Each structure stands twice: as structure tokens, then as C-alpha cells.
């Protein structure tokens, strides 16, 4: 890494650390309380060797038994108080740690919820979950090291140094001469530890995003008999990660052995110098015992202080992950004062709308479409033509490149995303069922709906009868993504869900694709009912669905080629007429370009 790069990195680390105080600041009173308690514990720790000195000196002076008993009782009391306070300290630090953890989760989940679809399509679910968890754990660990160990370590260091110099300055100088050693060892290990943390974060993110996809698509994995390949892929990733951990463990073990060695050296030096001083009668045995007591106890806090640097480094890696999410640009964020759209009439206009996804290929070119309230518009055209994209743009799930879309004459950029989407019910071929009851899945867009509303929506979607035949009726749990239901059943639940939401604008994107002929006839009727009084966009390949629409839009390669009624378009004899003439079994051949 070049000097410029590392300078740049340290500026970024500092900025992130300062920014992260936003999660800690609300807990500052708790942290102050804990620090005060920790200082008391540190002071008790300093008192301990001093008391030992008294006891040894009393022994040397052949003091009375009573005096010894008193001293021993004080020591016992001191130890008991310290142990009790340490327990209290422990419990309180956990509370604060959880407080920080909770605030981080609150912020991250909030952000993940509002980020545009494009973010989630780029990042995999498993990877994001892993990054959220590891990022939060890493930061909270680093935070507690610093918040809870720094103050007592400093307090102990100052008090112990003062005590040492008051006991015997020559021995104090020897002890202090050894204190930089753990610091140097810490600096030696720090870079490897930070690098390790970064590599592990990457490795686990990749590994767990793939695992998540594998389990999510287990049906495909099995039907292609790829379990073994996936297992091997996972294990090899796991081994690579473990190798990093193992190398790191070696560094850690070496570091801690070197530190132990430094402590031994310090003790031996004090012991030799102390013995000489004792033999000359310049210090008492009690003083030597006390100083030896400080040697062991002092190197710990010094180590803690020198670890701060590397803890900060590790914390920064965690923060990078956290702020990667928190700082991800929200390209579809609400404007400062968004308009709340109450009950829209459902007038929709696309005015010169163009759009390209991240890869830059233009998917929609200058789309103009005016849909009046209550109108049903079918959008047909070859697959990949941009039909679904239009429906996603209407919900402001992606930002437009050019042009604007209005609902009731208001630019959707200016409407709060929440109220905009409350006014639109969308049913996609992938219904998006949760592993929950049928009832809760239907009520997803309107959690306050009562049982009779839910049942009515299900009847309208011709779902009630099959739901009643399920083992627990409306209380049947449908499995992940509705895996315990057939494709047609899922679609009817999706339609019931949209009907219950009762929004003025309805988008049906291939919503009837998985229905058999008989249920389709029913659902056509249900959809016709549902579309009445609502602005409806139907993206469908079924002729029956399309011919009844008020208008049909032919969309090809991202351009509107024709708009008109079934009769108009048949007269024009263009793409649509060809499609209808080439129809098979009621299906428009959508791919026949
Ligand atoms: P249709 O609904 O007419 O089949 P889509 O709107 O789904 O068409 O897709 C239009 C084009 O945009 C296709 O070429 C498709 O590959 C591309 N596309 C769709 N979604 C994304 C995405 N998330 N990222 C990049 N390209 C996409």
C-alpha cells in the first residue's frame, strides 16, 4: 500500500469512527456509569498489592496475630468487593453492548428496506445477512473493548505508576522500562489482524450468499443432481476461510506468547534488582512482593491500551461494511416534502419515459401513454420488450432516466413512496408468498383486514374452495415461497391479496400464467370484477385477457409500436394481428417477434 493510500485510508477510518458515535451517543450516560464503576474496580486492584505489602511487612516485623487477622480480613473484604463489582460491571456492559447492537440493526434494516430494487439485485440475500451480522458483531466488540477497557486500563496505569514510585522508585523505573514491549508486539501483529478481518469478511460473504442461493433453489439443485458439487464448493470456501483463521490464530498465539515472555522478563528483572535491594536492607520484602504484584497486573492494562489501535482497525473493517450499506445511494428516495396521495382516482401518464438498468442498455425509449381512471390497458409484446419494467417504474422501484410518470397529474417523484405504493396493487407471476398462513399471506397488504374481508377476497379470486380443502383451511402454512401450493393456487392467493388491498390502480403481470383452463375462466371473471372501477394494467399472453381490455399497447424493444382496441389493431394488421392470427390455444405467442 502506498503512503498516499494509507493516509487516505486512515482518514476514512477516522471519519467512519467519528460517524459511528451516532450509535453510541444515546448511551453515553450508561457508558459514563460503567466507566465510573470500572475506575473503582481499578483502584481496588491497585490497593491489593499495597495491602499485601502491609501483610508481608507485618510478618517480617513479627506483628501480633490480631494485627495480621485484621489485615487479612481487609484483604478478603477488598477481594470480595472487587469480585462483586466486576460481576455488576459485566452485566452492565452487556446491557450497553446490546443497546449499540440494537441501534445498528435498527439503522441497517431501515436502510435495507428503503434501498432501491437495484441494490438488492446486485447484492445477494445471504451475503447481505452475513455482512449485517458480522459487521454489527465486529463493531460492537471493538466498541466494547474501547468503551469498557480503555478507562479502567488508563486509571489502573496512572494509579499503579504513582503507587510504584511511592513504594520504590528504582524498581518502578525497571517495571516501566518493560511496559513498551507489549505495545511493540501489538503493533507488529496489528496489520495482519486488520487484513485478516477484511479477507474473512469477503470470504464469508461470498460463501454464505451462495449457500443461501443453494438452499433457496434446492429444488433446482436436486433436480440437476448438483448437491455434491454445491457441497464441495461450500466446503472448499469454508476451508479457505478456515485457513485464514488458522494463520491468524498462529499470529495471535505468537503475540500472546511474546507478551507472556515480556512479563516474565520484567518479573525476573524486578526480582533480581529487588533481591539486591532487600539484601542491602534498602527495601522490605513486603515492598518487593507488592512491586512483583504490580508487574503482572500492569502489563495487562498496558497491553489493553496498545490493543486500542488494532481494535480500532478491526472496528473500522466492520464499520466499512456497515457504512457500505448505510451510505448506499437511495436513488428512489422521497423528496424532502413528499405529497401524500390519499385515494387516487387512478389517472396514469407516462410522458417521454426512458430507462436503462445498471448495465446501461436502454430498455424503454420515450414512452408516452395516457391511461384514464378506470381504464383497462393490456400491454403485449415479445418477452424482454420492457413490459414488466414499465410496471416497476410506475411503482417508483427504479429512478427514471428521462421523462416523468404522473398519477392523478402528480409526478410520482413527488409522492411519498409509501402512499404511491398503497395506491397500486401489483400481482406478478412470482407471487412472493411468505412461509406463513394463507390468511396472513392474503392480508399482507392490509394487515388490519378481518376474516370476512379476507374470505370475500379469496372468493372473488376463486381461491376460497381450494383453501377450505387445505388441511387447516385459512390457517394452513404455505411453506417458503408457497412451496406447498400449486402454481395456480399461488396465483389465486396473489390475486386475492391484490383484491383485498383494494387499490385504485391494479397491475397484473403474467398473473394468470399458471392457471389451468378451468380456473382461468373463473379468474378471468374475477379479474374483470376486480378491474371494474380501477385503472388496470394487464401484461398477459392470454388472448382472452387481452381482447377485453379497453386498449391494447404493443411494446417492442422498449418502444410503443401501436395503441388501440382489439378491433383497431386487427385492422392495422401489424404485429398484434399477426400474433392473434398465430395464436395457439388462447395463448398469444409472446416470443413470436
Ligand atoms: P418484459 O416484461 O417485456 O418481458 P422486462 O421489462 O422484464 O421485459 O425486461 C426488459 C429488458 O430489461 C430485458 O432485456 C431484460 O433482460 C432487462 N432487465 C430486466 N430486469 C433487469 C435488471 N434488474 N437488470 C438489468 N436488466 C434487466
Closest atom, ligand 1, to C-alpha of 381: 3
387 lines ligand 1 (CB under 6 A): yes
Fold identical between 8-326 and 335-421+549-588? no
Give me the percent of the chain exceeding a pLDDT of 70. Answer: 95
How far is Cα 1 from Cα 9, in angstroms, rounded to an integer?
A: 10
Taking CA atoms only, the protein residue closest to ligand 1 atom 18 is 357
Q: Which CATH superfamily is domain 335-421+549-588 in?
A: P-loop containing nucleotide triphosphate hydrolases (3.40.50.300)
Residue 52 cell numbers, joined: 499485601
| Number of Cα atoms under 13 Å in the Cβ half of residue 356 | 5
Which tens digits make up the pLDDT trace of 136-156? 999 999 999 888 888 888 888
Residue 315 CA to ligand 1 centre (angstroms): 40
DSSP state of 38: H
DSSP state of 26: G
pLDDT greater than 50 at residue 590? no
Which tens digits make up the pLDDT trace of 420-458? 999 999 988 888 899 999 999 999 988 899 999 999 999
CB 105 within 8 A of CB 136: yes
* Neighbouring residues of 587: CB distance < 8 A, sequence distance ≥ 6: 541, 542, 543
Sequence spans of domains, the chain: 8-326, 335-421+549-588
How far is Cα 182 from Cα 9, in angstroms, rounded to an integer?
A: 25
Which tens digits make up the pLDDT trace of 518-577? 767 777 777 777 788 899 999 977 777 788 889 999 999 999 999 999 999 889 888 888
Q: pLDDT at position 593, please?
A: 36
> In 347-459, which ranges are E strands?
348-356, 362-371, 376-380, 402-407, 410-411, 424-428
**Alpha-carbon torsion angle 393, 399, 405, 406, nearest 10:** 100
CB 194 within 8 A of CB 318: no
Beta-bridged to residue 371, according to DSSP, are 348
β-bridge pairing 410-411 and 424-428: unpaired
User: Using N-to-C axis directions, what is the helix angle for 180-216 and 169-178, rounded to 10°?
Assistant: 40
10 lines ligand 1 (CB under 6 A): no
Residue 349 CA to ligand 1 centre (angstroms): 21
How far is Cα 368 from Cα 365, in angstroms, rounded to an integer?
A: 9
Residue 521 cell numbers, joined: 375462466
Q: Which CATH superfamily is domain 8-326 in?
A: ABC transporter type 1, transmembrane domain (1.20.1560.10)
Closest atom, ligand 1, to C-alpha of 390: 6
pLDDT greater than 70 at residue 240? yes
363 lines ligand 1 (CB under 6 A): yes
Q: Which of 119, 386, 591 to mutate to test the pocket of ligand 1 (most atoms within 8 A of CB)?
A: 386
pLDDT greater than 90 at residue 37? yes
Which tens digits make up the pLDDT trace of 377-408? 999 988 899 999 999 999 999 989 999 999 99
Taking CA atoms only, the protein residue closest to ligand 1 atom 26 is 357
Taking CA atoms only, the protein residue closest to ligand 1 atom 25 is 357
541 lines ligand 1 (CB under 6 A): no
Cα 344 to Cα 223, 340, 389, 549: the distances in Å are 46, 10, 22, 21
185 lines ligand 1 (CB under 6 A): no
Closest atom, ligand 1, to C-alpha of 555: 3
Taking CA atoms only, the protein residue closest to ligand 1 atom 11 is 384
501 lines ligand 1 (CB under 6 A): no
> Among 162-166, 186-190, 351-355, where is mean pLDDT lowest?
186-190
Question: Can you give the pTM of this predicted structure?
Answer: 0.79
CB 511 within 8 A of CB 463: no
Residue 357 CA to ligand 1 centre (angstroms): 8
Give the residue from 300, 330, 339 showing the smallest Cα distance to 182.
300
CA 208 to chain CA centroid, nearest Å: 13
Amino acid at each position: 500500500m502506498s503512503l498516499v493510500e494509507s493516509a487516505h485510508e486512515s482518514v476514512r477510518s477516522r471519519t467512519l469512527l467519528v460517524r459511528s458515535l451516532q450509535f453510541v451517543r444515546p448511551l453515553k450516560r450508561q457508558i459514563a456509569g460503567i466507566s465510573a464503576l470500572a475506575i473503582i474496580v481499578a483502584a481496588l486492584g491497585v490497593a491489593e498489592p499495597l495491602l499485601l505489602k502491609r501483610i508481608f511487612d507485618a510478618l517480617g516485623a513479627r506483628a501480633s496475630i490480631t494485627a495480621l487477622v485484621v489485615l487479612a480480613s481487609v484483604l478478603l473484604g477488598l477481594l470480595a468487593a472487587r469480585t462483586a463489582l466486576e460481576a455488576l460491571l459485566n452485566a452492565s456492559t452487556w446491557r450497553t453492548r446490546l443497546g449499540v447492537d440494537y441501534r445498528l440493526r435498527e439503522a441497517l434494516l431501515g436502510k435495507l428496506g428503503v434501498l432501491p430494487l437495484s441494490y438488492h439485485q446486485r447484492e445477494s440475500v445471504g451475503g447481505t445477512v452475513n455482512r449485517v451480522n458480522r459487521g454489527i458483531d465486529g463493531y460492537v466488540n471493538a466498541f466494547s473493548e474501547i468503551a469498557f477497557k480503555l478507562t479502567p486500563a488508563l486509571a489502573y496505569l496512572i494509579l499503579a505508576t504513582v503507587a510504584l514510585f511511592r513504594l520504590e522508585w528504582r524498581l518502578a523505573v525497571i517495571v516501566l522500562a518493560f511496559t513498551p514491549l507489549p505495545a511493540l508486539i501489538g503493533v507488529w501483529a496489528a496489520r495482519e489482524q486488520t487484513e485478516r478481518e477484511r479477507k474473512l469478511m469477503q470470504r464469508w460473504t461470498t460463501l454464505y450468499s451462495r449457500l443461501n442461493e443453494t438452499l433457496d433453489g434446492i429444488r433446482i439443485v436436486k433436480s440437476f443432481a448438483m448437491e455434491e458439487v454445491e457441497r464441495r464448493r461450500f466446503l472448499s470456501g469454508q476451508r479457505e476461510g478456515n485457513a485464514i483463521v488458522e494463520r491468524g490464530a498462529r499470529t495471535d498465539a505468537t503475540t500472546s506468547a511474546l507478551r507472556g515472555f515480556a512479563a516474565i522478563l520484567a518479573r525476573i528483572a524486578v526480582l533480581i534488582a529487588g533481591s539486591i535491594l532487600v539484601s542491602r536492607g534498602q527495601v522490605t520484602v513486603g515492598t518487593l512482593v507488592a512491586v512483583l504484584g504490580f508487574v503482572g497486573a500492569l502489563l495487562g492494562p498496558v497491553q489493553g491500551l496498545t490493543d486500542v489501535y488494532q481494535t480500532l482497525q478491526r472496528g473500522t473493517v466492520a464499520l466499512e461494511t456497515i457504512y457500505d450499506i448505510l451510505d448506499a445511494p437511495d436513488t428512489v428516495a422521497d423528496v424532502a416534502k413528499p405529497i401524500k396521495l390519499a385515494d387516487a382516482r387512478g389517472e396514469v401518464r407516462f410522458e417521454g419515459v426512458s430507462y436503462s438498468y445498471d448495465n446501461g442498455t436502454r430498455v424503454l425509449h420515450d414512452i408516452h401513454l395516457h391511461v384514464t381512471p378506470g381504464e383497462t390497458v393490456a400491454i403485449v409484446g415479445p418477452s424482454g420488450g420492457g413490459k414488466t419494467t414499465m410496471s416497476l417504474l410506475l411503482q417508483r422501484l427504479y429512478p427514471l432516466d428521462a421523462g416523468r410518470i404522473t398519477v392523478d397529474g402528480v409526478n410520482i417523484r413527488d409522492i411519498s413512496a409509501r402512499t404511491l405504493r398503497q395506491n397500486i396493487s401489483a400481482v406478478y407471476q412470482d407471487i412472493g408468498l411468505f412461509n406463513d398462513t394463507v390468511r396472513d399471506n392474503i392480508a399482507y397488504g392490509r394487515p388490519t383486514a378481518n376474516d370476512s374481508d379476507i374470505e370475500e377476497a379469496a372468493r372473488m379470486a376463486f381461491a376460497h374452495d381450494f383453501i377450505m380443502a387445505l388441511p387447516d383451511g385459512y390457517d394452513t402454512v404455505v411453506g417458503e415461497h408457497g412451496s406447498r401450493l400449486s402454481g395456480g393456487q399461488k396465483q389465486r392467493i396473489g390475486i386475492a391479496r391484490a383484491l383485498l388491498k383494494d387499490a385504485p390502480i391494479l397491475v397484473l403481470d403474467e398473473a394468470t400464467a399458471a392457471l389451468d383452463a378451468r380456473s382461468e375462466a373463473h379468474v378471468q371473471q374475477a379479474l374483470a370484477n376486480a378491474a371494474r372501477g380501477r385503472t388496470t394494467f394487464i401484461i398477459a399472453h392470454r388472448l382472452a385477457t387481452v381482447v377485453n381490455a379497453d386498449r391494447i399497447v404493443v411494446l417492442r424493444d422498449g418502444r410503443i409500436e401501436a395503441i388501440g382496441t382489439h378491433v383497431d389493431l386487427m385492422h392495422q394488421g401489424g404485429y398484434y394481428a399477426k400474433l392473434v392470427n398465430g395464436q395457439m390455444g388462447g395463448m398469444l405467442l409472446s416470443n413470436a417477434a
